[in-house]
Chains A and B, each alone.
Chain A
């Protein structure tokens, strides 16, 4: 049993009083959610606080009413997106305003110095390219390529139709191509 079906069983078990089932869902998605949040906030501490908040809000959502849940993963990302938006709203900063030092703190410190430096350099190039995109395009590019989400999942998370997501993503990729061409020749 995999994917959505497994998630639904875990959700059912959690709601049947088995909190460990929710623990399994946490284990399954915590890295992804942390990554999603990390790419969108200023530092590790904020990323950790907001990621934990995402799971608590997910539990509250599950227990809060009779709304149907078809995709738990998409629910988590939707909550994560809203949590990040709320965070930026409170802090008065622009969504996805990323600074270099913040990204660098996210790189795995267990790597050796050479690998670490290489990744940091690459990260800088990627960051510079993304920075030039419009916020909407930036978010779509990150969701599709950094978070590895499908069009369907992005549609669930953003609340837009699959067609609309596809069109916007196409434009975002086109814009990214132009940025890459301009910056790297």
Chain B
């Protein structure tokens, strides 16, 4: 044997030595379990996301080049990577800032290097929360109308994050559904607070109409003498052909709808996992989450029911069976709305003069169909909810899966009803951009045919 043969042999022989696969798996699980017990893991980035870059300290003197390489991989302008301050500045940036897209790229990379679906989902939810913080900061900085573009950008990224979370739910990795279910409830609360904040800021900037169902239009001089400058400013912008942007309520509503959808989906996955689990605690938790959801749907249904008060157009329309009657009511309502606007734009005047032209047979049919939905479908949702409750009261196997089906059924109906209400509401707005005086909260007031800009109720399940 010569040296080269010896080397060849020893290399070959060493490759014949391999650990038992079962040991590899067991040792891996044991090591990861130990890691999860460690303090560093518990105080991880998900809980303390601001400290992401802190981890690069571990690389000691090479940390700077490490970060630089990381940023290069992100395909971000090299100029940013040379300064740690740039990274910090990006983290503090808001929609519309130069560094904002850099901030989003860094977040994307963070999600990219997370290996478990649970961690990825947790990061995506954390970043959705960051979007809400950004909106809140934008609102603190100024009027919601001037911040409208920024808010819409943030909300668009918020919705994208939740779509990504929904995709992770489909991969059914343990832990994801529970995490998503709990975190989306927090996101929903925060979104509602933001919506309230927007309503407050806008009512502070433009004083509301003292009485009556119609909120002041932006083009109209304010009834309050305390804020003439705002009204004048808005009016002059309109005269120059640059109307003030609409309140970003529509994007908040879309985000609320998305968060509701993600929450429902996570609940479905969680309940399905619990139904297959032998762990009684998980089953109990699923039961409790289902009951909470049922309570929420019932509250929403009660709020929808309150729309049948006399001030709402829906009961009026629903009492009219003939198309001609509906057409007349709608035409009258359109004229009525326009006449309450003190100063109208040429387009609005045209709309007033030709109300019949907008009420085409197709529109009539659509409105009638929506009114029918609002009138009849809630009862079906209530029936499904009652069935779900009945199923949960029983002790039979498979009740969780049966109940979630009924809950999802009622959720879908409620969504349809809300959409129909929104459609009827928007029918009568000929380009008016004024917010609803109540901030658009369905249930706390009736659904009025107030001119709205694609507003919807903010009740979420």
Contacts and interface: CB of A to CB of B under 8 A. Distances in A.
Interface in A34-70: 34-35, 38-39, 44, 47-48, 51-52, 55-56, 59, 62-63, 66-70
B116 A18 contact: yes
A146 B7 CA distance: 8
A11 B2 CA distance: 42
Contact of A68 (B45, B62, B70, B114): B62
Interface string A108-143: 100100000001001101100100000000000110
Given A107-B17, A108-B18, A177-B3, A17 B119 contact: yes
Contacts, number: 164
Contacts of B45: 16-18
Q: In terms of DSSP, what is the predominant structure of the interface of chain A? A: helix
Interface stretch (A23-31, A80-88, A160-168): A23-31
Interface residues of A, number: 63
Nearest to B61: A68
B16 A106 contact: yes
A154 interface: no
B32 A22 contact: yes
A129 B1 CA distance: 10
Q: In terms of DSSP, what is the predominant structure of the interface of chain B? A: helix
A79 interface: no
Contacts of A99: none
B11 interface: yes
Nearest to A183: B1
A34 B21 CA distance: 12
A20 B2 CA distance: 45
A23 B28 contact: yes
Nearest to B117: A20
Contacts of A30: 19, 24, 27-28
Contacts of B44: 15-18
Contact of A59 (B20, B38, B57, B113): B38
Given A15-B55, A184-B1, A52 B13 contact: no
Contacts of A20: 32, 114-116, 119
A27 B32 CA distance: 12
A110 B341 CA distance: 87
A148 interface: yes
Contacts of A151: none
Interface of A: 1, 5, 8-9, 11-24, 26-27, 30-31, 34-35, 38-39, 44, 47-48, 51-52, 55-56, 59, 62-63, 66-70, 106-108, 111, 119, 122-123, 125-126, 129, 141-142, 145-148, 173, 176-177, 180, 183-184
6 contacts: A15-B55, A19-B41, A30-B27, A69-B59, A122-B12, A184-B1
Interface of B: 1-3, 6-7, 9-14, 16-20, 23-24, 27-28, 30-32, 34-36, 38-41, 43-47, 52, 55-62, 66, 69-70, 73, 110, 113-116, 119
